[in-house]
Amino acid sequence: MNEVRGWNGGQAMPGPRPVDRSSALPLWAQLHADLVRRLEGGEFRRAFPGELALVAEYGVSRHTVREALRRLRADGVVVAGRGRAPRLAEPVAIEQPLGALYSLFASVEAAGRHQRSVVRVLDVRADGVVAARLGLEESTPLLHVERLRLADEDPLALDRVWLPAHVAAPLLDADLAHTGLYDALAERCGVRPTGGREHIRAVVPTSAERRLLGVGRGVAAFAVDRLAEQDGRPLEWRRTLVRGDRFAVVARFSGRAGYELSVAGTLS
């Protein structure tokens, strides 16, 4: 193990510190603490070491390394997916004006990130609860879309949408992996929401949602419930779960104008 000991001008030298096997602190916790120290010291600006490199550096098992990395992922410090090497998490990069009828597609693209969706469900079904929210009879057929939204191939949001099938059925043949839903709705169905309301709250994702979003137990999410309308008539019910460590909502205020909610942005 390549250990680095000693001090330089009162500052700890970079590199791994040896784990103390006589300590009551678990090895993974010692490794986690030392990785945080090194991260704060700026050691991993270019690249974060992989599991095998950390095993060699610290002389610990791969299980110990994986547990330390799991905690770093839960803290939102490191990002790692199945079959992909760990890397440093970027600061929150997707911001949305509070009060805007927004496009997650447009917000991701505006942040300079590549956006695509994995369409998990696209079918027609009945849902009495959602139909009632749309002011429809409970047995009304609804087009249902469920998408996992990705930003630079990292999971960002889980999106579930319901629209009246008599309006949105042409979307069954649409490619919703690379376009905004409302753009496809306008092009294929000739309709686009003109307004609506949203309710945003913080939630703890379920275990299944955490797996899809690639987050640990300690990462919360925004739950965004949207009722979109066209000319005052309900058109869409949507529930979106957005990773709290990758997304933020913003508002503007000033002494002269007071508290202002932005209305910029487009629907998607």
**125: pLDDT strictly greater than 80:** yes
Q: Residue 259 has what pLDDT?
A: 52
CA-to-CA dists, residue 135 to 123, 173, 227, 230, angstroms: 20, 26, 11, 13
Matching residue, tokens 């990758």: 246
Contacts with 255 (C-beta within 8 Å, 6 or more apart), sequence order: none
Cα separation, 190 vs 185, in Å, equals: 7
- pTM (two decimals): 0.59
Q: Residue 8 has what pLDDT?
A: 42
Cα separation, 103 vs 261, in Å, equals: 16
**267: pLDDT strictly greater than 80:** no
182-210 residue pLDDT tens: 889 999 999 999 888 888 888 889 999 99
Cα separation, 63 vs 231, in Å, equals: 57
